[in-house]
Amino acid sequence: MTVEIVDPATGLVTYRHELMGAADIEQRLQAAADAFPGWADHSLQDRGAILRRIAAQLRTRRDDLQQAMTHEMGKLKAEALAEVDKCAAACEYYADHAADYLKPQLIDTEAQRSYVRYEPIGCVFAVMPWNFPIWQVFRFLAPAFMAGNVALLKHASNVPQCADLILAVCRDGGLPDGVFDVLHIDNEQAAEVLRDTRVKAVTLTGSERAGRSIASNAGGQLKKSVMELGGSDAFVVLDDADLDKTVAAAVKSRFDNSGQTCIAAKRFIVVDAVADEFTRRFVEAAGERQYGDPNERGTTLAPMARADLRDELHKQVQGSVAKGARILVGGEPIAGTHAGYPATVLDQVGPGMPAYDEELFGPVAAVIRVKDEAEALRVANDTRFGLGGSVWTRDPVRGERFAQRMECGAAFVNAIVKSDARLPFGGSKQSGFCLLYTSDAADDSLRVDLGGRRIIKK
């Protein structure tokens, strides 16, 4: 089967490739199985040295990686370059700190010596998304490699060149044959790969529907799984928020990456006392986002990744307006573009509207007005999602108290929700599995709670 890749900025087909057949898949599965024992026997120092060389390759090929991201899913040039740099930093972080994470834990028992030792499990199968096509891959690859695991990647169908470049970077960095490979396959083939006994675990970043399917498949095989699914993060503005900083953060959090970020702020829950002023400033700043060629310096709003995604987002906007939401800016596809949608702000959003109940995976913000802090918390938690959230207030003690009661994997105080290689990442509810972690901070700037929740104060 031939797959055509369309540049979302131009609508032109820029690349064609063939899906793999059964023989190619089998060859890569067996190569991974064969490579695992030798890779697991490598010392942490050897694996770390290779990961550092991969980081160097990422920086050497950052322009190639940027162009692939921009042409395949429309990412702004500056955002794409920053993504590559983040991946390189993550590789170096795990190369430096894996020994601490993986060191045996001594336990005092009646035995002469008792300890917990961490061992690699084998081949990890990764199903990754298009919105951060380099970062999402290295976020799992770097720790998996350092732990001694091997990996196979099924990337999103619209970013095959990104997948192939990642493979080239890893090989050029000195990764042995079979330790990592790419599978250009469809969803049915992916299900077959997951059922293969040589695959020991699966990690997915994707939709709820994909998560249910893959988690069910993995559960049926009693295989370990990690799921990061959708999100509808609350951005809570309390009555004492610094509106200059809050509005600037709101625009960045909602419209960077053309709004196509799982942990982007999507529901702007604003206390009535500041709602009019916040909304006025927010609309003004959103309207300044300039749509254009994602390779051009002056462009501040990229196209969406695909035309069908743009059309689905517009249906959500129309459905919300039909039920009483008001469009304050934007709200119509950009004429003459393949997948352009403007920065859009909806006001008077409430329950029963798509903008309230569903994830808006594009440059549309939903403003939800509430009377006070108590109602803000209730609305923030009134969602089936639980990935991230933030609260904005001049009082950091008040903010942390509020954040502790937010039902999400990562709660931020006066800061945009971000992923960080140094901290656990995961969601609750329908946003995926929240892993158990605990950590002590070096200062009072952050805290990681049991349950994987992290609260960060700025």
Cβ atoms 255, 343 nearer than 8 A: yes
Displacement of CA 221 from its chain's centroid (Å): 26
139-142 LR contacts (CB < 8 Å, sep 24+): 139/90, 139/419, 139/421, 139/425, 140/203, 140/226, 141/166, 141/170, 141/180, 142/51, 142/90, 142/91, 142/93, 142/94, 142/95, 142/421
**Beta-strand relationship, 446-448 and 454-457:** antiparallel
Q: Is 262 a catalytic residue?
A: yes
Q: Which of 92, 228, 358, 359 is catalytic?
A: 228
The CB density around residue 197, as the number of other CB atoms within 10 Å, is 11
Cα distance between residue 310 and residue 331, in whole Å: 11
Helix axes 62-73, 44-60, angle to 10 degrees: 70
Q: Which of 91, 123, 162, 262 is catalytic?
A: 262
Contacts of 60 (CB under 8 A, 6+ apart): none
Provide DSSP, 98-149. HHHHHS-EEE--SSS-EEE-----SEEEEE--SSSTTHHHHHHHHHHHHTT-
Q: Which 3 state secondary structure label does DSSP give 442?
A: coil
Q: How far is CA 71 from CA 62, 64, 257, 294, 440, in A?
A: 14, 11, 14, 9, 42
On the CB side of 428, CA atoms within 13 Å amount to: 17
Residue tagged 């009661």 (tokens) = 405
Cα distance between residue 179 and residue 101, in whole Å: 21
Q: Is 87 a catalytic residue?
A: no
> Active-site positions?
228, 262
